[in-house]
Amino acid sequence: MAATTRIIYQPYGRNLRPGQAVVCRDGEEGRRRAEKALAAGSIEGAHVVRITVDEDAGDYSDPEFLLTLGQVPSAE
């Protein structure tokens, strides 16, 4: 299988615990999901990231952060 690019919406809830990550069609869908959930108060923050995945080889690229909204865990 060839490497594919995926856009992931990663929400964070109370105490900045990660919620269920969601694969999105594109960055715009990820942004809409994050903004809607944040406005509803159902999350504290979110990342939308792009990664390249080759599942057969077990290779995952470092995430490219497309969007960060609200409070998210520190990278430290």
Q: Is 75 part of a structural domain of the chain? A: no
pLDDT of residue 58: 87
Q: How does pLDDT run across 35-67, given as a tens digit for each residue?
A: 999 999 999 999 999 999 998 888 999 999 999
Whether 34 and 46 have beta carbons less than 8 Å apart is answered as yes
Enclosing domain of residue 12: 4-70
Question: Residue 7: is its pLDDT beyond 60?
Answer: yes
Q: Is 22 part of a structural domain of the chain? A: yes
Q: For residue 24, how many other CB atoms are within 10 A of its CB?
A: 19
Q: Is 76 part of a structural domain of the chain? A: no
* Tally of structural domains, the chain: 1
pLDDT band at 75 (very low <50, low <70, confident <90, very high): low
Q: Is 57 part of a structural domain of the chain? A: yes
Q: How does pLDDT run across 20-34, given as a tens digit for each residue?
A: 999 999 999 999 999
Give the global pTM.
0.88
Q: Is 46 part of a structural domain of the chain? A: yes
Q: What are phi and psi of 73, to 5 degrees?
A: -60, 150
